[in-house]
């Protein structure tokens, strides 16, 4: 069903791109109603405008808080043209039909990002705008609604091509967009006021981007978010679903080393595969850090996601270029390094520009959503409970290992020596199996475990891990503690002059 637009109500905060639309409306002899600043904007082009006050009989009052909240406006939007009683009432109360509503919303989200002054934030909570948008969208059978400046171009094209005659399919399509825009706006406001006692899971993330596929080719996938706020992509194909999952794991890890109690001069390089760390090291140069990270498990590095907290130079780029990888993330790239790395057109190069800001994690499961705080921090306490105090070198390695272990799937064990991951076990159903896997990895690549340290993501339920670790050459352990049999592991350390630190902070990851 096609309807011709005869009248339009325009009240917008953003006026970019509006001129072409109002000129087209005037050319089609469509009556324009408007308010305040929008009215003045239109009038500067010598286009006739009917002030909304002529519909309401009231001026804008309460500092602009009340302008359009009146039956003279909402009756014209909500009136059903095919409902005889509606038409009679509109005639009775002299309410004109409004066929097109162009309304955007006060910039609440933008204001929230710019200030924490509550008075300024509250004043950017739009009342009339969402009400008019919802009303027009509800009555899409008779009214066309445009609720965002990003749709101005589409509206202009529609007016030009149709001469103001709009199909019900197009009106419904615009209505669907409008409801989403208002819903996102309301969620943003609700999140601002939210408390721990909130009754609903409230989240809205814009910017949908279809993936080539999901985790597997037979699954569809969509990413919601503005990834360009975090990275500039300097080369390569589009990020896939699995790329994004590993990029997130890489950024979570590297953020730890930028914040942690490690020497500020340290360059950290890490390799991520299926969200697990398969190589990581800290050295004084980028190239040495890369070589040490790769040496930890050169097999698993194939097809991985690489991340560094320093600029990638030409020497390192040449070394990295020798292997196949999916993604490389760094805060900067030297020009000659980029030239080398761009030799493979599909290789994804991301220049990081902002840290991750989220403080929550979400997971959909069963018939709901789990929400938790991010696992922030490394340890609650540093409780030396073994047969001796840790040396400075051991302490550095233990801190390093504990952070690595935090980013391995549970049950997890990390073996570290000289701030290099030399063995790891992850995703195992028993802790002793995770340790066996870690030792096997270290042996596979001919690392000497003598004087290495061990980190565990959770407590040792028995002393078997400490015994096997010591038999393999490990001399210092870090774990959260909390087992009813902690004493068994502690006593073994005391009997064999081994260092053990209890942190009081578990790092399960599932």
Nearest to 164 by CA among 349, 3, 328: 3
DSSP tag of 389: P
Residue 350 pairs in a beta bridge with 233, 329
DSSP tag of 184: H
Alpha carbon 291 to its chain's center: 31
The one catalytic residue in 138, 209, 393, 409 is 138
CA distance 35 to 38: 6
Distance of CA 213 to CAs 206, 216, 231, 276, 324, Å? 19, 7, 22, 22, 22
- CA-CA-CA-CA dihedral for 108, 114, 120, 121, to nearest 10: 40
The SS3 assignment for 126 reads coil
* Half-sphere exposure of residue 447: CA atoms within 13 angstroms, side-chain side: 28
Per the annotation, the verdict on 274 as an active-site residue is yes
Nearest to 24 by CA among 161, 144, 143, 151: 161
Asked if 342 and 320 touch (Cβ cutoff 8 Å), the reply is: no
* Half-sphere exposure of residue 332: CA atoms within 13 angstroms, side-chain side: 5
Asked if 1 and 141 touch (Cβ cutoff 8 Å), the reply is: yes
Alpha carbon 383 to its chain's center: 36
Asked if 307 and 251 touch (Cβ cutoff 8 Å), the reply is: yes
The one catalytic residue in 3, 15, 191, 274 is 274
Alpha carbon 490 to its chain's center: 42
Asked if 454 and 424 touch (Cβ cutoff 8 Å), the reply is: no
DSSP string, 45-108: TT---EETHHHHSS--BTTTTBSS-SHHHHHHHH--TT-HHHHHHHHHTT-----EEEE----H
Distance of CA 160 to CAs 8, 170, 189, Å? 16, 14, 36
Nearest to 411 by CA among 398, 397, 399, 424: 424
- Of the chain, the end-to-end C-alpha distance in Å amounts to 53
Burial class of residue 42 (count of CB atoms within 10 Å of its CB; 0-12, 13-18, 19+): buried
Per the annotation, the verdict on 4 as an active-site residue is no
Name residues whose C-beta falls within 8 Å of residue 435's C-beta, 6 or more positions apart in sequence: 413, 425, 454, 465, 468, 469
Burial class of residue 87 (count of CB atoms within 10 Å of its CB; 0-12, 13-18, 19+): middle
Q: Which residues are catalytic?
A: 138, 274
């Amino acid at each position: 069903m096609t309807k011709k637009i005869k009248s339009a109500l325009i009240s917008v905060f953003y006026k970019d791109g509006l001129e072409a639309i109002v000129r087209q409306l005037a050319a089609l002899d469509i009556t324009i109603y408007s308010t305040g600043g929008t009215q003045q904007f239109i009038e500067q082009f010598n286009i006739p405008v009917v002030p909304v006050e002529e519909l309401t009989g009231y001026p804008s009052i309460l500092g602009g808080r009340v302008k359009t909240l009146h039956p003279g406006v909402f009756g014209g939007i909500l009136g059903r043209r095919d409902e005889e009683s509606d038409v009679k009432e509109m005639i009775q109360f002299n309410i004109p039909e409004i066929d097109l509503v162009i309304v955007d919303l006060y910039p609440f989200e933008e204001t929230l990002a710019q200030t924490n002054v509550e008075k300024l934030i509250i004043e950017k909570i739009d009342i009339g705008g969402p009400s008019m948008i919802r009303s027009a969208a509800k009555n899409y059978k008779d009214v066309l609604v445009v609720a965002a400046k990003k749709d101005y171009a589409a509206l202009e094209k529609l007016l030009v091509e149709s001469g103001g005659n709009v199909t019900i399919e197009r009106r419904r399509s615009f209505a669907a967009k409008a409801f989403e825009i208002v819903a996102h706006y309301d969620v943003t406001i609700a999140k601002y006021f939210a408390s721990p006692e909130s009754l609903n899971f409230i989240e809205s993330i814009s910017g949908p981007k279809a993936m080539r596929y999901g985790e597997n080719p037979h699954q569809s996938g969509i990413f919601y978010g503005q990834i360009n706020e975090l990275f500039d992509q300097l080369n390569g194909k589009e990020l896939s679903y699995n790329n994004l999952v590993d990029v997130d794991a890489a950024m979570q890890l590297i953020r730890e080393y930028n914040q942690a109690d490690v020497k500020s001069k340290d360059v950290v390089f890490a390799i991520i595969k299926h969200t697990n760390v398969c190589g990581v090291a800290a050295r004084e140069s980028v190239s040495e850090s890369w070589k040490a990270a790769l040496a930890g498990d050169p097999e698993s590095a194939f097809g991985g996601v690489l991340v560094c907290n320093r600029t990638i130079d030409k020497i390192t780029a040449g070394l990295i270029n020798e292997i196949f990888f999916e993604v490389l993330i760094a805060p900067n790239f030297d020009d000659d390094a980029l030239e080398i790395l761009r030799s493979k057109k599909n290789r994804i190069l991301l220049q990081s520009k902002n840290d991750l800001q989220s403080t929550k994690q979400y997971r959909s499961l069963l018939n709901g959503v789990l929400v938790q705080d991010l696992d922030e921090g490394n340890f609650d306490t540093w409780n030396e409970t073994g047969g001796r105090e840790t040396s400075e070198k051991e302490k550095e390695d233990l801190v390093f290992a504990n952070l690595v272990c935090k980013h391995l799937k549970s049950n997890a064990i990390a073996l570290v020596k000289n701030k290099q991951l030399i063995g790891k076990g992850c995703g195992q159903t028993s802790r002793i199996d995770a340790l066996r896997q870690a030792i096997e990895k270290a042996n596979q690549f001919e690392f000497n475990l003598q004087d290495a340290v061990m980190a565990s993501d959770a407590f040792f339920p028995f002393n078997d891990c400490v015994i096997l670790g010591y038999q393999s050459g490990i001399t210092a352990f870090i774990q959260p503690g909390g087992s009813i049999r902690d004493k068994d592991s502690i006593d073994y350390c005391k009997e064999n002059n081994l260092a053990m630190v209890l942190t009081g902070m578990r790092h399960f990851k599932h």
